[in-house]
Amino acid sequence: MEDRKPELKSIFKYASAEAFDKIFPSNKHVVFKLSLPKDFNDPYELSLTIDFNQPPDILACYQEVIGKIQQIPTTCFSELPSIIPMWAHYAKNSTGFSIELDVDLVKKELPEAAFNFVSYRDEPSDTVLDHLYKAARIGKFRHIGFLNDAVYHAAYFTKTKCWDCEKEVRMVINEKHTRIVDGDILIDIPIVAVKRIICGQKTANPEREKIKNFSKENGIGFYDLRIGRLSATPYFIDEIGNSHIFDLARNAFLKSKNQCENCKEPISQKEGSHCPWCKVEDHHRVVASSTRAFG
Ligand SMILES: [Zn+2]
């Protein structure tokens, strides 16, 4: 695991509403698509492994190692349920949903699944280069081991900084746990590992009802995503109308200490029962519209 994070409890997969039946084909499993590093790595991302201005024996050694990287099925998650660009892109402009998985339960069901945070960088790594020189010029067994590990980490868990907002977590799993359908590599994760499903702000009502009912029937939590008027960070409403925010440091949802009685947006305790927007009443609007300055 990367050093910058606390323990990982929850991970999130964003998807479009149309994908629901494929992801939840029954009430037994949640099904995700995986891909291999050779398919998901942009070629330029390999330039993040080392600076390629090196002598030929070093580059030849690098080529040898990179060519032998094992192709292990991998699937992507995010460590946050509140990333607006993720809702926009993967959940089709907030019309889809996001699935919260309990990482411990996934590990319990699939002990071979390994999780790692993606690190984001724009410069190649000196560590990999150091291991490469030692492997190529000294060539001891442990040097080659270090190099293999470093290149593996770079190929599976490194992206350029422009992707940083995705806060990606990748799961790798031995292919013997996967199955292939129409050329897609799929993994079936027992549904017990699904903690919650969150519908987007714009998920259409029939889809939302369907997802909500499915959650209820299978003992899965259900939240609605809301984009508030006071803060740029989205919040979440549970089935009984309580609002929650997602706390990155704790990697968990926290119930708001105070929320607007009308619109449910989380507010500070000093605001009282209503948010500043819900305190605006008709007589304020009348005064505002009669103010000459606004024409
Ligand atoms: Zn309000």
> In terms of domains, do 161 and 196 share one?
yes
Torsion sign over Cα 170, 171, 172, 177? negative
> In terms of domains, do 188 and 267 share one?
no
> In terms of domains, do 41 and 67 share one?
yes
Q: How far is the CA of 74 from the centre of ligand 1 (A)?
A: 42
- Distance from the Cα of residue 83 to its chain's centroid: 8
Q: How far is the CA of 273 from the centre of ligand 1 (A)?
A: 9
Tokens (6 digits) for 210:
């369907």
Q: How far is the CA of 289 from the centre of ligand 1 (A)?
A: 21
> In terms of domains, do 135 and 209 share one?
yes
Residue type, 2: E
Q: How far is the CA of 262 from the centre of ligand 1 (A)?
A: 5
Q: How far is the CA of 215 from the centre of ligand 1 (A)?
A: 28
Q: How far is the CA of 282 from the centre of ligand 1 (A)?
A: 15
Q: How far is the CA of 62 from the centre of ligand 1 (A)?
A: 58
The pLDDT value recorded for residue 10 is 96
The pLDDT value recorded for residue 3 is 45
Residue 177 lies inside a defined structural domain of this protein: yes
> In terms of domains, do 198 and 274 share one?
no
Residue 3 lies inside a defined structural domain of this protein: no
Q: How far is the CA of 280 from the centre of ligand 1 (A)?
A: 10
Which residues are within 8 A (CB) of 76 and not within 5 positions of it... i.e. 6 or more apart? 13, 168, 169, 170, 171
Question: Which domain does 261 fall in, by range?
Answer: 257-295
> In terms of domains, do 162 and 151 share one?
yes
Q: How far is the CA of 239 from the centre of ligand 1 (A)?
A: 18
Residue 2 lies inside a defined structural domain of this protein: no
Q: How far is the CA of 229 from the centre of ligand 1 (A)?
A: 8
Q: How far is the CA of 195 from the centre of ligand 1 (A)?
A: 28
Q: How far is the CA of 222 from the centre of ligand 1 (A)?
A: 22
> In terms of domains, do 151 and 266 share one?
no
Q: How far is the CA of 72 from the centre of ligand 1 (A)?
A: 48
> In terms of domains, do 187 and 61 share one?
yes
Q: Which residues of the chain have pLDDT under 70?
A: 1-6, 41-45, 292-295
Tokens (6 digits) for 158:
């490194």
Q: How far is the CA of 259 from the centre of ligand 1 (A)?
A: 8
- What is the domain count for the chain? 2
> In terms of domains, do 213 and 143 share one?
yes
Q: How far is the CA of 294 from the centre of ligand 1 (A)?
A: 25
- Please spell the DSSP secondary structure of 132-200, one letter per residue: HHHHHHT--HHHHHHHHHHHHHHHHHEE-GGGGGG-EEEEE--GGGEEEETTEEEEEEEGGGEEEEEE-
Q: How far is the CA of 260 from the centre of ligand 1 (A)?
A: 5
> In terms of domains, do 145 and 46 share one?
yes
> In terms of domains, do 110 and 171 share one?
yes
